[in-house]
Structure 1
Amino acid sequence: MFLVLFGLLALSCLPLSVLGVPEDRDALMYRMNIYLPPKEGRDEKADILEIKTTVAGLTDIKVLFSFKELGNSVVILVLRVDKACSWAQLTSFLARKGYEFKVMPVYYCSDFARELGLNMTRDFYDTFLEADEDLLLGTQIFPVNGLTTAEYNEKLRQMFVRDISILNAGQKAACFRTLARLPVELIHFAPVGQKAMEAIAETLHAPDTFDLEILRIQQLDTYAGRCK
């Protein structure tokens, strides 16, 4: 945790010319995993509610998505950080609580798809998922496996072509790429349902498949009060 904390504190001191200006959202979005360690007498619901309330009140940090992994004490956030020095609000709170955390810069899959030559607007993927929906997090990693750059990019383009078809058929999903990660890593948040399961099956049986990890998650909006 302390390595991550020191890294973020160093990050907060960099000028915005390095990190990006407030309008440059790609350079200022992050996925954060917060791990609540096992502790005797811990009220997990109250702790998660405190995290939810704290991040909602941060200045110059907007919560785009907030989830909890089902079955594990892990909170998953996607954040837009408008001012780098605002990180200290969050990291100091997490350090005081003794929570471990991991931060990964991300950007929109639609922007990445355009880099690959596809015509995809930024709002093609969802920016909001209903609080009462059953959700999953799918992490896709695309091994290189000796492919040339052109072959690798074509493999990624074909994945997005399948995504476009699935979303046009009515499936909802939010998608982000982990910045500068090689092999390429994409994360999808999507409702669980018949269409979602059919889409997963179609993806798994597609040619040149990728490594896929699926986790069940729930919105932090479900944490509305402390345990009685």
Structure 2
Amino acid sequence: MLLFVFGLITLSVLGTKGDKDALLYRVDISLPPVEGRDETADILSIKKTVKGLTGVDVLFSFKELGNPKIVLVLDVEKACSWPQLTGYLSSQGYVFSVEALYHCSDYAQELGVNIPKDMWATSFGDEELIIDVNTFPVKELSTLEYNNQMKWKFERDMDILNSGQKGACFRTLAGFPVQLMYFAPVNSSGIDAIEEFVHAAGNLVSEITQIQNLEYYTGQC
């Protein structure tokens, strides 16, 4: 996944007016190792600060399991809302990166597959969760073959959602290769099913990261 230095991309990303969801972003926040740092206190402070931002709707917030890293999906109403977040993160010395997103339902619609947005989850409970980032290399595929591959992927997603599996999905705004980012609750059998699906899909690279819902994070065992 491409990681961008926030200060270099703010103007170009926030200036993308053509896409209807151009103000959706993934923000990764890492806490570099510092002597005496209270990791739990820092994460709880970020959690509280982000919830209090004006003009920024927190769609999802997670913490990577075993790592001092937070993953946010934000809906930003106006570009001028950003300094609230960036000023705070910079003042604390955190390392952060930003990636523009749009909803998978919008991309699927472009391909002729109708996945209503209300089929995707808008929240998760205190359960085992993963981020599954799927990258689809172009290789020797024609445009038609590539689009058909993506259509098949979303048709498969429909089957999974109709079976009762919860999940949320976003596409990175970059053009190609297409990269889809899924959030979903999963157990060991679920991970096995994902791996089986990845092998069946063939032209797909999957990167799975275990996460927990930041809403329920307390730092206590």
Q: TM-score, normalised by structure 2?
A: 0.91
Question: 2 CA distance for matches of 1:152 and 1:127?
Answer: 29
The equivalent of 1:4 in structure 2 is 6
The equivalent of 1:109 in structure 2 is 104
Structure 2 vs 1, CA of residues 100 and 127 (structure 1 numbering), >3 Å: closer, same or farther?
Answer: same
Q: Unaligned regions of 5+ residues in structure 1, if any?
A: none
> Are 1:139 and 1:214, in contact at CA under 8 Å, matched by a contact in 2?
yes
Percent of paired sites with the same residue: 50
Number of residues paired by the alignment? 218
* Secondary structure of 1:37 counterpart: coil
CA-to-partner distance for each residue in 1:122-142, whole Å, 9 max, x for gaps?
Answer: 222111111x11101000000
The equivalent of 1:19 in structure 2 is 17
Structure 2 vs 1, CA of residues 201 and 11 (structure 1 numbering), >3 Å: closer, same or farther?
Answer: closer
Question: 2 CA distance for matches of 1:6 and 1:209?
Answer: 32
| Equivalent in 30, 34, 41 of residue 36 of structure 2 | 41
Question: 2 CA distance for matches of 1:216 and 1:93?
Answer: 26
| Equivalent in 46, 56, 62 of residue 61 of structure 1 | 56
Stretches (4+) displaced over 6 A: none
Structure 2 vs 1, CA of residues 207 and 186 (structure 1 numbering), >3 Å: closer, same or farther?
Answer: closer
RMSD value, Cα: 2.2
> Are 1:142 and 1:211, in contact at CA under 8 Å, matched by a contact in 2?
yes
| Equivalent in 160, 164, 179 of residue 166 of structure 1 | 160
1:146 aligns with 2:140: yes
Structure 2 vs 1, CA of residues 54 and 12 (structure 1 numbering), >3 Å: closer, same or farther?
Answer: farther
CA-to-partner distance for each residue in 1:40-62, whole Å, 9 max, x for gaps?
Answer: 12111110011011110100000
The equivalent of 1:208 in structure 2 is 202
Q: Unaligned regions of 5+ residues in structure 2, if any?
A: none
Question: 2 CA distance for matches of 1:13 and 1:153?
Answer: 28
Q: Residue type matched to 1:19 in 2?
A: K
Q: Residue type matched to 2:17 in 1?
A: L
> Are 2:103 and 2:170, in contact at CA under 8 Å, matched by a contact in 1?
yes
> Are 2:25 and 2:75, in contact at CA under 8 Å, matched by a contact in 1?
yes
Shift of 1:197: 2.9
The equivalent of 1:190 in structure 2 is 184
1:120 aligns with 2:120: no
Q: Residue type matched to 1:94 in 2?
A: L
Shift of 1:213: 0.4
Question: 2 CA distance for matches of 1:2 and 1:205?
Answer: 30
Answer with 174-183 or 193-202: which moved more.
193-202
Shift of 1:206: 1.5
Question: 2 CA distance for matches of 1:218 and 1:34?
Answer: 15
The equivalent of 2:87 in structure 1 is 92
Q: Residue type matched to 2:40 in 1?
A: K
CA-to-partner distance for each residue in 1:110-154, whole Å, 9 max, x for gaps?
Answer: 111111101211222111111x11101000000011101000000
Answer with 196-205 or 206-215: which moved more.
196-205
